[in-house]
Structure formats: structure tokens, C-alpha cells
Structure 1
Amino acid sequence: MRLLLVEDDDHVAAALSAVLAKHGLSVVHARNGEEALRALLPDAAEPFAVVLLDLGLPDQDGFEVCGRIRKICATPVIMVTARSDVRSRIHGLNLGADDYVVKPYDTGELLARIHAVSRRGAGGGDQPPEDGAVEEPLRLGAVTVELPTRQVSVDGTTVPLTRKEFDLLALLAQRPGVVFRREQIISEVWRTSWEGTGRTLEVHIASLRAKLRMPALIETVRGVGYRLVVPASGQPAAPEPPAS
């Protein structure tokens, strides 16, 4: 697996590259945002499976780099940073990051997340249905989810979602009212059983509630997981404090 490491500290990059190499990963090191973007251009010799993106870069903020990456390719991005506040996590995920790892981290955790997002990125989730079949949109009150085109709208207005946000919403929307266990969601959306992904799930739930502006649409079933609640009579769900 080929991986792009965007890290301005040569010592950190060398140490991490050595560890990843021992686990069969081929690492290309970019020291700043512009180097990373050049390496990810569509005409690059060989595509990357994953980008590990530090936020504290010398030429531009990592958030800006993530946004620019999303304009040129769909390569999965894992933000690796010391910024641990929830606002930064949500901002990074909203920009299109697939995961967010806070320093200091366990190497086993990082490897698990790399393999999880790379499997998902190669999973072909954007493929159209076979045999010319057309899937009907899922209509959930004011929310419409179109699975083939991966489009979501609220009252006719398109709501841009990240890959993982869409996958999470689509999973819940296909069986409204059914409670999905946290472990089940993590397995389906992140393709991993690693329990540390739970915090990432909570951040994605919070981001979905904020973007759709319907906090009660996704209900927390304490101690179990989440379910999608269809608003009565097609009306927007009444706001409730988002609990994760």
C-alpha cells in the first residue's frame, strides 16, 4: 500500500515512515502543503491509498490543504494532529477528512485506521446499480437520500456531506426506526471492529445533525447505538439537545 505522509518535521516523518515500512507500507514524504498537492495531481505516476495529513504545516494550514485535496482527488485523508478539541475534529471532517487521529497516538491505532479507510476507499461505494436498475430516493420527511448519486437534500436544498457522513446516514436511512448498535455501525461504515473508532462515530453523528439542521432525526439510544426517526407528516424534526 502506497501512503503519502504530509509532515514538516523530518525527525517525526523518518520515525513514522520506518514504523509504517515495517508493516508493509510504502511511504512518500511531503514536507508542506504544496508538495502534497503536487504529489496528488491526477497525472501522478501512481495513486496513493491514504494521505496522513499533519495540520501544522509551514506554508498553509492543514485544513486548507485538506479542502484543496478534495478538489483534485478522492484519496482518503486521515488528519494527524495535536488539536484535540471537538470543534477542530468536526471542522476537519466537514472539509472531507475520512478520519482524525490525535497525537500522541498508539501505532496500532494508526495502522488500524489506515487500513480501515483504505478498504473503504477501495470499496466501490460510488458504483451505480447493475442491470440498469434505478434505485428510488429514500424520503424521510424533509430529507431525501439518493443512493446512486450519493446526494442528500433537505427541503430540496442539497446538503454537502463527506464520504463517511453519507455512508452513515445511508445506513440508518435504509432501515428507519431500527436501532443500530455502535459496533454494527463502526463495522459497516468504517470496516473495522476497533473500539477506539467510537469517538469518531460520535463526531460524525454530531456533524450530520448540524448539517441537516434536524438534531432529532438521528436519535441516540443510550448504551446501545443510534436510530433514524422519520418526522411525522413530513415535517422537520423538533430540535433536541444532541447527545452522543
Structure 2
Amino acid sequence: MKKILIIEDDKEISMLERDYLEISGFEVDIISDGSKAAAAALNGDYALILLDLMLPGVNGYDICREIRDQVEIPILMVTARLESVDKIRGLGLGADDYIAKPFDPAELVARIKSHLKRYERLTGAGKDSQEADAAILVEELKILPRSWKVYKSGEEVRFPNREFELLKYLATYPNIVFSKDQLFERIWGYEYVGDSATVTVHINRIREKIEEDPANPKIIETVWGAGYRLNK
């Protein structure tokens, strides 16, 4: 049974989320104090985290920043803040999705299941296979699609799932220019509530990890007026 961590200080909302998730076959833990949330997220064997932004003690942004590079599971932010800058900030910190309050609980469960399926498909979780990864090599990068790992000059670099999917997709089709809309459709899908600006946020985060000079990228190049291209 997959475990979900709910980090939410509104008792009614957390109970509603818990009830719908338990009915759907998930095990659920709830943390209401932001100052205790990071430790719980890092020490629990969770498949996904539902993270509220406005929390006592420590806000959701700081929690996401603290745990993102240490956990590879999906993080879904749940918040009443609807401004684009808040969404971009959350996605920039590595959140995988942004769910606005009030929400339809059935839709929330559907989004959670969608993220878990995507994560399993990406990582190959649950598959009994001895087949080795077919590595994708780009400059000093080694991308292992099945084990969801990236190495730069022999050292592993951690990527949240959306960043990894985006990097893997570009590396799978090198030297081809993709528009932001095309990348958004392929990585996030039509059901995702957002826009192509999300792509720019994630490209910038990827560049910070793989480029020698992120301000003058050589691997993932911006083709002005057209989109992005991974050079190989």
C-alpha cells in the first residue's frame, strides 16, 4: 500500500484529503506543523507528498526547498494562492504540480494517481527486470533512463521527476528544436493546470545542474523565437 504524506494545517482539509485517499487504497500520514514537516518527509517511506504553502512554523516553499534534492518522489503543492508568480516559484523549487483550493477531492485523487503512474513509468518501479540501462551520453553527462539517474563527470546529480523527464526527452531527440508548447504538452500533458512558462522554469533549473556556465548554456540552447534544442 502506497503511503501519502499530507502537510496541511487546516484540519478540515487534511481530513477530507485523508478520507478520499484512504478510500482509494492509500495509507496516509498528516503533519500540521511546518517545523516538523521536513523531518517527516525525509524519514518516512512516502510515495508522494501533498504540501500546503501557508503553514505555521515553516512555509511550504522552505519545506520544498529543503527536501527536494533529497527525495525523488512527486511533490504536489496545495494552496489558495493563485498568482502566477507563486506557481512559478513553487515549480522553480521543484514541485511537480500546483493544486488550487478549493478543489474537487475526486480530481485531487485522480491527479495523485496520475503522478504516481508517471513516476513509476519513469523510474521503472515495480518492474522485475535485470535489463541494464541504455545510457544516453551528452558531453560529460550520462543519463540512465530506467534507473532515473544522471551523472556529470562521474558524479551523480539529483533531478526531480519533471526535470528528469524534460532532460531525458531532449536528450532522446538531440539537435531538434522543440517549442515551449510542444515540451509542455509532452512532459506535463493537457490535463496539467499551467502554461508553457513552466518549461522555462524547469529548463533554467536543469541548466544550473548541467551547464558549466548556466548564463551561457552550451548543452541546452535557446533558439530565439523557436524554442529549445539539446546539442549533441
- For normalisation by structure 2, the TM-score amounts to 0.70
- Distance in 1 (CA, whole Å) between partners of 2:165 and 2:172 is 11
Matches within 5 A, 1:42-57: 42=43, 44=44, 47-57=45-55
SS in 1 for 2:14: helix
Distance 1:56 1:23 in 2: 26
1:90 aligns with 2:95: no
CA–CA distance in structure 1, aligned partners of residues 7 and 228 of structure 2: 37
Within a 5 Å distance, the mapping from 1:17-56 to structure 2 comes to 17-42=18-43, 44=44, 47-56=45-54
Residue 160 of structure 2 is aligned to residue 205 of structure 1: no
2:229 alignment counterpart: 229
Distance 2:7 2:40 in 1: 10
CA distance in 2, matches of 1:147, 1:39: 30
Q: 1:123 deviation in Å?
A: 4.0
With over 3 angstroms needed to count, the CA separation of the structure-2 counterparts of 1:131 and 1:216, relative to structure 1, is closer
Structure 2: give runs of 5+ residues left out of the alignment: 208-214
Counterpart contact for 2:135–2:143, Cα < 8 Å? yes
Correspondences of 1:40-189 after superposition (within 5 Å) = 40-42=41-43, 44=44, 47-123=45-121, 125=123, 135=135, 137-139=137-139, 145-148=141-144, 149-151=149-151, 162-176=160-174, 177=176, 189=187
TM-aligned CA distance change 1:216 to 1:103, over 3 Å: farther
Aligned twin of 1:217: 222
Number of residue pairs aligned between Structure 1 and Structure 2? 210
- Work out the CA distance in 1 between the residues paired with 2:201 and 2:109: 25
Distance 1:38 1:161, change over 3 A: closer
- Report percent identity of matched pairs: 27
CA contact (8 A) 2:180 2:200 kept: no
Residue in 2 that maps onto 1:2: 3
Task: Determine if contact 1:94/1:162 at 8 Å carries over to the other structure.
Answer: no
Distance 1:125 1:91, change over 3 A: same
Q: Give the distance between the partners of 2:94 and 2:101, measured in 1 at CA.
A: 20
Counterpart residue identity of residue 200, structure 2: A
Q: For 1:116-145, what per-residue CA distance to the aligned partner results, in whole angstroms no more than 9, with x for missing partners?
A: 222233346399xx7777735225xxxx65
Kindly indicate whether the alpha-carbon contact (under 8 Å) linking 2:74 and 2:161 is maintained by their aligned counterparts in 1. no
Distance across 1 between alignment mates of 2:194 and 2:75: 17
Provide closer, same or farther for how the CA distance between residues 133 and 25 of structure 1 changes in structure 2, counting only shifts above 3 A: closer
> What stretches of structure 1 of length at least 5 have no aligned partner?
222-226, 235-244
* Distance in 2 separating the partners of 1:105 and 1:52: 13
* 1:196 alignment partner, SS class: coil
Secondary structure of the corresponding residue to residue 78 of structure 1: strand
Aligned to 1:238: none
Deviations along 1:65-113, one digit per CA (max 9) or x if unpaired, are 1122235433321111112222222222222222221222233332222
